[in-house]
């Protein structure tokens, strides 16, 4: 007789089959890299190949590109034939020759992604040519940025009628995420993602309702108790939208894990992180939809494999 399994039972069986043994992240598909300084990479074949070779040698399959707005405005416009050709050549090469599955671009507001949306129209949303992910980076929790005189305050908040407070910055941020969801119309492939550091529990609940994937920063200078850092974020997310994908971000900068990486490889850290997570009794890993891991950032990554 054919046995019918519950969803929970199926998940348990799947984990057993995958032989998780502390390597939950390796059973997932995502291994992403934030690429800073992309302004000086795109269009430079030597630098493009250097990045792509590094990504392939280290098994990265997702690139998250900074400087998109600056490149679009001053170098290679995403929404015209000439500029879009440069973008297309890089993206096509990355996906067809260097095992990159997805390309994401970073912006600070919803309108930042309009050129990328037009670019996707130009390339007819072809999988090997398109931009797959819109990544909103807006640190609404960062007082230095949202306070009076701060970058967010003067650049975005005051001009659009928001208070230069955490509440005002968060309201602006949520408006951007809701607007970004509109780009997904007739584009089932497109993901809207964001990264978080120190949101309140209430803020995180709201974020989980309007995004497809959340990156959670674990910017620490030691690996001890790494997974225990700001555990409230996972406590909230394990009760949130079950379809929401999440991934930890690890930083290779000198004030984070840069010194640790001088004597360890980047592939050691996911095992350490997920082993620690499994040992925390309050965490229900089955209810957290981990999609893989992310590294920040390309310019400070170790050159060893």
- State the angle between helix axes of 166-181 and 201-209 in degrees (0 to 180), rounded to the nearest 10: 10
Query: Residue 74's pLDDT is what?
Result: 98
Greatest alpha-carbon pair distance for the chain in Å reads: 70
> What is the mean predicted confidence (pLDDT) over 150-160?
98
- pLDDT-derived band at 53, boundaries 50, 70, 90: very high
Residues 230-251: tens digit of each pLDDT: 999 999 999 987 789 999 999 9
Q: Look at residues 250, 252, 242 and name the one whose alpha carbon lies nearest to residue 287.
A: 242
> What is the mean predicted confidence (pLDDT) over 89-112?
98
> What is the mean predicted confidence (pLDDT) over 185-206?
97
Residues 126-144: tens digit of each pLDDT: 999 999 999 999 999 999 9
Q: Look at residues 164, 161, 170, 165 and name the one whose alpha carbon lies nearest to residue 197.
A: 170
- Asked whether residue 277 is assigned to any structural domain, the reply reads no
- Asked whether residue 113 is assigned to any structural domain, the reply reads no
- Asked whether residue 114 is assigned to any structural domain, the reply reads no
- Asked whether residue 35 is assigned to any structural domain, the reply reads yes
- pLDDT-derived band at 184, boundaries 50, 70, 90: very high
Query: Residue 304's pLDDT is what?
Result: 54
- pLDDT-derived band at 1, boundaries 50, 70, 90: very low
> What is the mean predicted confidence (pLDDT) over 56-72?
98
Query: Residue 23's pLDDT is what?
Result: 42
Percent of the chain with pLDDT over 90: 87
Query: Residue 15's pLDDT is what?
Result: 41
Task: Indicate if the pLDDT at residue 2 is higher than 70.
Answer: no
> What is the mean predicted confidence (pLDDT) over 135-161?
98
- Asked whether residue 49 is assigned to any structural domain, the reply reads yes
C-alpha 264/C-alpha 13 separation (Å) is 33
User: Residue 73 belongs to what domain range?
Assistant: 31-108
From its phi and psi, is residue 272 left (phi > 0), alpha (psi between -120 and 50) or beta?
A: alpha
Which position has the higher pLDDT, 260 or 22? 260
What does pTM read for this prediction? 0.90
C-alpha 41/C-alpha 45 separation (Å) is 8
Number of domains in the chain: 1
Could you tell me if 129 and 92 are in contact, meaning their C-beta atoms sit under 8 angstroms apart? yes
> What is the mean predicted confidence (pLDDT) over 16-22?
38
- Asked whether residue 224 is assigned to any structural domain, the reply reads no
C-alpha 181/C-alpha 187 separation (Å) is 10
- Asked whether residue 46 is assigned to any structural domain, the reply reads yes
Could you tell me if 35 and 63 are in contact, meaning their C-beta atoms sit under 8 angstroms apart? yes
Task: Indicate if the pLDDT at residue 299 is higher than 50.
Answer: yes
C-alpha 218/C-alpha 295 separation (Å) is 10
Task: Indicate if the pLDDT at residue 71 is higher than 50.
Answer: yes
Query: Residue 4's pLDDT is what?
Result: 52
Q: What is the mean pLDDT of the chain?
A: 92
- pLDDT-derived band at 27, boundaries 50, 70, 90: very low
- pLDDT-derived band at 29, boundaries 50, 70, 90: confident
- Asked whether residue 47 is assigned to any structural domain, the reply reads yes
C-alpha 34/C-alpha 247 separation (Å) is 13
């Amino acid at each position: 007789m054919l046995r019918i399994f519950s969803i929970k039972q199926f998940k348990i069986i799947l984990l057993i089959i995958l032989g998780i043994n502390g390597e939950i992240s390796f059973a997932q598909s995502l291994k992403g890299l934030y690429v800073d300084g992309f302004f000086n990479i795109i269009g430079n074949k030597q630098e493009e190949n250097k990045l792509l070779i590094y990504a392939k040698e280290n098994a990265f399959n997702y690139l998250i590109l900074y400087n998109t707005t600056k490149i679009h405005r001053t170098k290679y416009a995403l929404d015209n034939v000439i500029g879009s050709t440069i973008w297309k050549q890089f993206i096509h090469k990355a996906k067809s020759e260097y095992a990159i599955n997805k390309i994401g671009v970073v912006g600070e507001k919803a309108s930042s992604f309009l050129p990328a949306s037009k670019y996707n129209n130009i390339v007819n949303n072809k999988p090997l040519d398109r931009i797959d992910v819109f990544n909103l980076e807006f640190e609404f929790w960062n007082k230095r940025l949202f306070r009076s005189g701060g970058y967010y305050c003067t650049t975005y908040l005051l001009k659009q009628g928001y208070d230069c407070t955490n509440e005002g910055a968060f309201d602006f941020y949520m408006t951007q995420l809701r607007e970004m969801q509109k780009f997904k119309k007739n584009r089932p492939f497109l993901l809207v993602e964001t990264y978080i550091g120190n949101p309140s529990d209430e803020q995180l609940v709201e974020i989980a309702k309007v995004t497809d994937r959340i990156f959670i920063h674990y910017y620490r200078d030691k690996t001890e108790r790494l997974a225990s850092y700001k555990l409230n974020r996972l406590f909230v997310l394990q009760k949130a939208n079950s379809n929401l994908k999440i991934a930890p971000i690890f930083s290779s900068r000198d004030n984070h894990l840069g010194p640790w990486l001088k004597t360890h490889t980047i592939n050691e850290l996911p095992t350490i992180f997920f082993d620690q997570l499994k040992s925390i009794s309050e965490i229900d890993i089955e209810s957290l939809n981990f999609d893989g891991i992310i590294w920040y950032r390309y310019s400070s990554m170790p050159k060893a494999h």
